[in-house]
Amino acid sequence: MSRARLTALAVAAVMGLSQSAFAVSDQDLKELREQIRELKEQYQKRIEALEQRLRQTEQAAGKAQATAGKAEEAAVQAAVQASSRPAAENALNPGISLVLNGVYSNLSLDPAGFRINGFVPTMGESGPPVRGLSLGESELAFAANVDPHFRGTLIASVSPDNSGAQIEEGFIQTLSLSNGFTLKAGRFFSGVGYQNQVHAHAWDFADAPLASKVFLGNQLAEDGIGLKWIAPTDLYLDVGLELGRGRKFPGGPDGGRNKNGFGSSVLFAHVGGDIGSGTAWQAGISYLSTSPRDRRFEDRDATGTSVTNSVSGRSRLWVLDGVVKWAPNRNPTITNIKLQGEYFRRREDGDLTYDTLAQSLGTQTGGFASRQSGWYLQGVYQFVPARRVGYRYDRLDSGTTDLGLVASGALAAAEFPILGAYNPTRHTVMTDWSPSEFSRIRLQFARDRSRLGAVDNQVLLQYIMSLGAHGAHRF
């Protein structure tokens, strides 16, 4: 700044000041200063407030950035949770499933007179269904894990007539024993043979093989405990022991003996594996031992009188079983083949009491010994998706039955017509259609020579439908 300009400014200032000095007093000036100071303070406060807000905003922005980082993660988590099932009070209900089945049967022989000649009758029902339309047994199943250690299963079958509901299976099993061990307790289908463990609705034919009927009373379910061990090998190998009450044939009497301990025992072993890219197989051997007391059966003696006989002693049954399944690339949805067979061999020794209720020639007891066998072989072929055909051949060999009462001449062999030597056979063909995994409609034709001197031509048209929880398919 030049000296000349500075001087000019100073002159102007003096003139200005002198002018205002005339207009405002000292007091006014003081007030003015005070006002300016107040103004300054106010601005200072506002600026401070603004700065404070700015700092807060910055902090919030920082937080927002951090949250944004987690937002994507949270969104994924939320979507994962949202796509899971909603938690409801009934979320822990056991899996419930229901199997409905019904049948139309056309039989050339009266089913009320059904018997399998050459073999001791088995106390339970084993004949074909009544003629005409009938409702089969409805099956109601509940199953769930109890806790990490146990699983529980209850399968009730509800009879269409007045006999009400029955417990088919009701058992608990361990989940946490490990090392390949599983322990079962309750009522369960015995591991004897192959088909015995399979529920009727999953059978490939509408009825059981004749051998299952005469040796296991259709299907053997014991009240008992079972221990199974699976070997730690890539080849499947299991061994098992079941101890039961002996409540059903071949034990007896019906309901089991009035005794402590066990009334029946089963030992079994299975091996199984894969061959190539399409075949899976399993083979087994089992041994069932029981000591029936007063196991009763009905017969019609030579005088034409209905009598009740009974057997006491020991019954030992051996079963060999085998299953082979094939499907291209193990994909059974389009085509597949299943072959299945079992061979049964039984020895029974003890006493036979004739006419326990003294309705005919009077109660008499003598020795009893029988050696009998039977087998079946069946094949099922799915030729296009949902459609299958199958054939089964049954054959029983009544072998030898020695009766002390007959050998001693006390009674004639004709007093025991049902035990007379006879080898029943049966041919069965079936075709079924399964529109989905849950429904099946089956047409079956059988030529059944179970009864001496008579052929029963049986036509069965059957439906089997499963509702509710998805059942798991046994091999």
Partner 1 sequence: MKSILKFVTAIGAAALALPAAAALNVFACEPEWGALVQELAGDKASVYSATTAMQDPHRIEARPSLIARVRSAGLLICTGAELEVGWLPLLLTQAGNARIQPGSPGYFEASGFVARLDVPSVVDRSRGDIHPGGNPHIQTDPRNIARVAEALVPRLAQLDPANAEAYRARGKAFLERWRSAIERWERQAAPLKGMTIVEYHKAFVYLDAWLGLKEVGTLEPIPGIPPTPSHLAELVEAMRRSPAKAIVYSTYNDSRAAAFLSERTKIPAVMLPFTVGGTDKAKDLFGYFDDILGRLLGSAR
**Region for residue 298 given its phi and psi (left: phi exceeds 0; alpha: psi -120 to 50; beta: otherwise):** beta
- In sign, the C-alpha dihedral spanning 250, 252, 255, 260 is negative
Measured from the CB atom, the residue of 271 and 443 that comes closer to partner 1 is: 271
Please choose, out of 126-134, 268-276, 360-368, 402-410, the segment that lies near partner 1 by the rule CB under 8 A: 268-276
Among positions 109-148, residues that touch partner 1 (CB under 8 A) are 145, 148
Question: CB–CB of 128/444 below 8 Å?
Answer: no
User: Helix, strand or coil for residue 350?
Assistant: strand
Measured from the CB atom, the residue of 177 and 452 that comes closer to partner 1 is: 177
Measured from the CB atom, the residue of 43 and 181 that comes closer to partner 1 is: 181
Nearest approach in angstroms of CB 381 to partner 1 is 16
Measured from the CB atom, the residue of 236 and 391 that comes closer to partner 1 is: 236
Measure Cα distances from 258 to 47, 224, 247, 254, 291 in Å.
100, 15, 10, 11, 12
Among 7, 57, 106, 333, binds partner 1 (CB under 8 A): 333
* Cα(328)–Cα(277) distance, integer angstroms: 7
Q: How many helices (H) and strands (E) does the chain have?
A: 4, 18
* Cα(80)–Cα(91) distance, integer angstroms: 18
**70 contributes a contact to partner 1 by CB under 8 A:** no
Per-residue binding letters, 185-204, with partner 1 (x by CB under 8 A): --------------------
**463 contributes a contact to partner 1 by CB under 8 A:** no
> Exposed, middle or buried by CB within 10 Å (0-12, 13-18, 19+), for 289?
middle
Please choose, out of 196-204, 322-330, 355-363, 393-401, the segment that lies near partner 1 by the rule CB under 8 A: 322-330
**331 contributes a contact to partner 1 by CB under 8 A:** yes
**436 contributes a contact to partner 1 by CB under 8 A:** yes
> Exposed, middle or buried by CB within 10 Å (0-12, 13-18, 19+), for 214?
buried
**270 contributes a contact to partner 1 by CB under 8 A:** yes
Q: List, in order, residues 6 or more apart from 359 with CB less than 8 Å away.
A: 305, 306, 307, 308
Measured from the CB atom, the residue of 445 and 463 that comes closer to partner 1 is: 463
CB atoms within 10 A of CB 222: 28
**Burial call 75-94: b when 16+ CB within 10 Å, e when fewer:** eeeeeeeeeeeeeeeeeeeb
Among 97, 105, 157, 173, binds partner 1 (CB under 8 A): 173
Nearest approach in angstroms of CB 280 to partner 1 is 4
- Nearest to residue 342, comparing CAs of 474, 220, 163, 215? 215
Rg, the chain, Cα only = 43
* Cα(168)–Cα(175) distance, integer angstroms: 22
Per-residue binding letters, 210-249, with partner 1 (x by CB under 8 A): ------------------xxxxxxxxxx------------
Q: What angle do CA 351, 312, 292 make, to 5 degrees?
A: 155
Per-residue binding letters, 277-296, with partner 1 (x by CB under 8 A): ---xxx--------------
Nearest approach in angstroms of CB 331 to partner 1 is 5
Q: Give the interface size with partner 1 as a residue count (CB under 8 A).
A: 58
Nearest approach in angstroms of CB 463 to partner 1 is 16
Please choose, out of 64-72, 157-165, 332-340, 354-362, the segment that lies near partner 1 by the rule CB under 8 A: 332-340
**445 contributes a contact to partner 1 by CB under 8 A:** no
**383 contributes a contact to partner 1 by CB under 8 A:** no
Nearest approach in angstroms of CB 391 to partner 1 is 21
Q: What angle do CA 39, 41, 44 make, to 5 degrees?
A: 110
Q: What angle do CA 464, 338, 459 make, to 5 degrees?
A: 45
Among 27, 178, 258, 260, binds partner 1 (CB under 8 A): 178
Using CB under 8 A, list all residues that contact partner 1: 76, 79-80, 82-85, 145, 148, 151, 173-182, 228-237, 270-274, 280-282, 325, 329-334, 385-386, 435-438, 467, 470-475
